[in-house]
A and B are shown apart, each in its own frame.
Chain A
Amino acid sequence: MKFSGRTWKYGDNVNTDVIFPGKYTYTVTDKREMAKHALEDLDAGFAKAVQPGDIIVAGTNWGNGSSREQAVTCLRQAGVTAIVAKSIGRIYFRNAVNDALLPIVCPAAVDAIEHGEVISIDLAEHTVTCAAGTFSFPPLSPSVMAIIDAGGLLEMLRKRLAAEAQG
């Protein structure tokens, strides 16, 4: 699978509190509403300008901190398709897989990508291509790809439960 999108580039150690502030975790429950607060304490202009298909490009340890899944959901809901980072916080990585937001770890691409440029991602070839070149990333494991392909963990579970119900 191949797709492309416009990028939003951020630095190192962007944590879940600035991606989705903790004060909203028990008060904002609607997913569309979550998208309105995406990156609120990092980039106040993001939520208004983001478009479906956009890609986040980040430095090391993107999404470190809280286990809050809203930090993934708010971006997914805003239409973001992938995170290309130097490294990703471990719970964030899991939440991204489970919410079918592609987590790609590719430090060389991050250094090469300019904020705002359109990049393309080839999942079959495990490459990220930007103006400066093409960079490969380690493939995601088959069990992780199976979750993403199913549309996320819950979708996969729904299909499994439906299959079990059919006997």
Chain B
Amino acid sequence: MPPMTFAEKALARAAGLPATVAGQIVDARPDIALSHDNTAAIARTFYSLGIKKVKHPERLAITLDHAVPAPTTQHAQNHAEVRQFVLEQGVQHAFEVGRGICHQVLSEEAIVLPGETILGADSHTTHFGWLGAFGAGVGRSEMAAIWATDELWLRVPETLKFQLVGDWPAGVTAKDLCLRIIGDLGADGGLYYSIEFAGPALMALSLESRMVIPNMMAEFGAKNSYLPPDQAVFDYLAPKARHPYTPLYPDAGATYAETYTYDVSQLEPLVALPHRVDKVVPVSQVRGTRVQQAFIGTCTNGRLEDLAAAAEVMKGRQVAAGTRLLIIPASSEVLKAAIQQGYIQTFLEAGATIGTPGCGPCMGNHMGVPAPGEVTISSANRNFQGRMGTRDAELYLASPAVVAASAVTGYITNPAELEK
């Protein structure tokens, strides 16, 4: 058998084939099919096919997270329809309003395991590469088709490989690495590819930091992304995994379309400028840009270590007059731990506001949408025009510490510059 990349191996496994090769189209059976608030719309499509029962309801995972708690009657009705579907189909992996963002909750619950395949009706399903799973986003009709037939056509992608070396400088995060890569190669630089990461600088990262990387690769155009699971991942999963699993690793000699080496010791804190995730500059270059809103949350950077980094900046400081700081933990587990650690106390004392775990204003549904003309600095993954619900608002992306420091001064700030 010729040497295979991770994607070739994972899709061979998902399709029940001994091997696949990039370019091949296979019928893949996902281990998990993820949907969220969009479940109601998918259910309507599904029932319109004349089918009553999902083929494998135990493979479905459904979270209410995109507009929670419901901001309008229409949203509430949408949630009610999702709950109805969960009951009708006997979906076990179903998570209520307030539990958190789908990618975070499924990671905490270990619903997807190394080597497995998850297809999600959400573009950031690439997230699950953090534990060595094949995660890819699909459309709503495709999700209805998966529910009906338990399979979906997928093209086996070619692969780009990123080798990470060097020591991480203080204040530089996985977010900065992702912004650097996307800034260098463009928002379509990874279009259609499977993106594999490797190297000592990758394995030096905490699991929470690792999650940022495949999550952000959706903004690079990737189909999926992969980090090789190590002992830290296995230890994390040990008390949680519901069944045995077999991690997959790319073969030595597998074919890569391109291999890049990034020395992380050369990185500095970065921001993406409105309205492009690939318009990336050092924080110093936009220092002084006024911000009306600072938002820390989302599936990219709303985890405990992100809140820890923000709390360290906020401790003993106040949010600047004319600026508001919005903190939305990615899950109820994160919120609970942040309360225990005293971070929430720190935020409240600094004048921040805390939202219900979920997506918050990330895609402009509610709970912190900006006014026209306002500037937001956010820890999210996407800064498209109108993304946060307001077309004439500007959106900068950065790591949580930079967002927090900007809340303190009221303008875009590198935390290293704050007085000790």
Does A79 belong to the interface (CB within 8 Å)?
no
- Write out the residue numbers on chain B whose beta carbons fall within 8 Å of the beta carbon of A66: 123, 363
Let me know if B364 and A21 touch, CB within 8 A.
yes
B74 to chain A minimum Cβ distance, whole angstroms, is: 5
CB-CB under 8 A for A23 and B389, given A65-B382, A91-B139:
yes
Residues of chain B lying within 8 A (CB to CB) of residue A161 = 49-51, 148
Q: Do B276 and A13 touch (CB < 8 A)?
A: yes
Q: Are A91 and B138 in contact (CB under 8 A)?
A: yes
B172-196, CB under 8 A of A: which get 1 and which 0?
Answer: 0000000000000001100110000
Q: Which residues of B contact A27 (CB under 8 A)?
A: 72, 74-75
Tell me which of B37-45, B304-312, B402-410 binds A.
B37-45
Query: A15 to B384, Cβ gap below 8 A?
Result: yes
Is the CB of A35 closer than 8 A to any CB of chain B?
no
The answer to whether B153 has its CB under 8 Å from any CB of chain A is yes
Give residues 63-79 of B contacting A (CB, 8 Å): 66-67, 72, 74-75, 78
What 0/1 readout, one digit per residue, does chain B (125-154) give for beta carbons within 8 Å of chain A? 000000000000111111011001100010
The answer, among A15, A26, A68, for a CB contact under 8 Å with B78, is A26
Tell which of A48-56, A93-101, A112-120 binds the partner: A93-101
Interface of B is mostly: loop
B384 touches A87 (CB 8 A): no
When distances are taken between beta carbons in the complex, the residues of chain B under 8 Å from A131 are none
Given A27-B72, A27-B74, A66-B123, verify A61-B49 contact (CB < 8 Å).
Answer: no
Tell me if A25 and B141 are in contact (CB < 8 A).
Answer: no
- What residues of A have a CB within 8 angstroms of the CB of B188 in the complex? 13, 60-61, 64, 87, 89
In contact, A154 and B45 (Cβ under 8 angstroms): yes
Given A26-B67, A157-B145: A64 and B221 interface contact (C-beta under 8 Å): yes
Per the bound structure, the CA–CA distance linking A77 and B46 in Å amounts to 20
A61 / chain B contacts, CB cutoff of 8 Å: 187-188, 191, 221
Decide: B221 and A69 in contact? CB cutoff 8 A. Answer: no
Give bound CA distance, A69 to B123, whole Å.
11
* Cβ–Cβ contact A141 & B25, under 8 A: yes
Tell me, yes or no, whether B365 is within 8 Å of chain A by CB. yes
Report whether B187 and A157 are in contact in the complex, using a CB–CB cutoff of 8 Å: no
Contact A94 B123 (CB under 8 A): no
In whole Å, how far is B212's beta carbon from the nearest beta carbon of chain A?
18
Q: Which residues of A contact B223 (CB under 8 A)?
A: 90
Q: How many residue pairs, one in A and one in B, have C-beta atoms under 8 Å apart?
A: 123
Asked if A67 is at the interface (CB within 8 A of a chain B CB), the reply is yes
> Is there contact, CB below 8 Å, between B365 and A143?
no
Does B387 touch A at the CB level, under 8 Å? Answer: yes
Chain A: interface size category: 35 or more
With both beta carbons as reference points, the residue of chain B lying nearest to A141 in the complex is identified as B25
> When chains A and B are docked, how far (Å) is the Cα of A65 from the Cα of B123?
7
The residues in A between 41 and 92 inclusive whose CB is less than 8 angstroms from any CB of B are 41, 60-61, 64-69, 72, 87, 89-91
Q: How far is the CA of A65 from the CA of B25 in the complex (A)?
A: 23
Of all chain A residues, the one with the shortest Cβ separation from B74 is: A27
A148 at the interface (CB under 8 A from B): no
The reply to whether the CB of B282 lies closer than 8 angstroms to some CB of chain A is no
**Contacts A13-B187, A26-B75 hold; do A98 and B142 have CB atoms under 8 A apart?**
yes
Q: How far is the CB of B128 from chain A (nearest CB, A)?
A: 15
Residue numbers in B under 8 Å from A22 (CB-CB): 363-365, 386-387, 389
- Chain A residues in contact with chain B, CB under 8 A? 13, 15-18, 21-23, 25-27, 29, 41, 60-61, 64-69, 72, 87, 89-91, 94-95, 98-99, 141, 143-144, 147, 152-154, 157-158, 161
Known: A26-B67, A68-B139, A87-B188. 7 other contacts (CB 8 A): A17-B386, A18-B385, A21-B364, A26-B74, A65-B384, A69-B139, A89-B191
Q: Which residues of B contact A (CB under 8 A)?
A: 25, 37-38, 41, 44-45, 48-51, 66-67, 72, 74-75, 78, 120-123, 137-142, 144-145, 148-149, 153, 155, 187-188, 191-192, 221, 223, 276, 363-365, 382, 384-387, 389, 391
A-B pairs, top 10 by smallest CB distance, nearest first, are A61-B188, A95-B139, A22-B363, A17-B384, A69-B139, A67-B123, A67-B137, A69-B140, A41-B386, A23-B364
**Please, could you name 23 A-B residue pairs with CB atoms under 8 Å apart, sorted by A?**
A18-B385, A25-B38, A26-B66, A26-B67, A29-B41, A41-B391, A64-B187, A64-B188, A65-B384, A67-B120, A67-B122, A67-B123, A67-B139, A67-B140, A68-B140, A69-B140, A72-B139, A89-B221, A90-B191, A94-B139, A147-B153, A153-B145, A158-B49
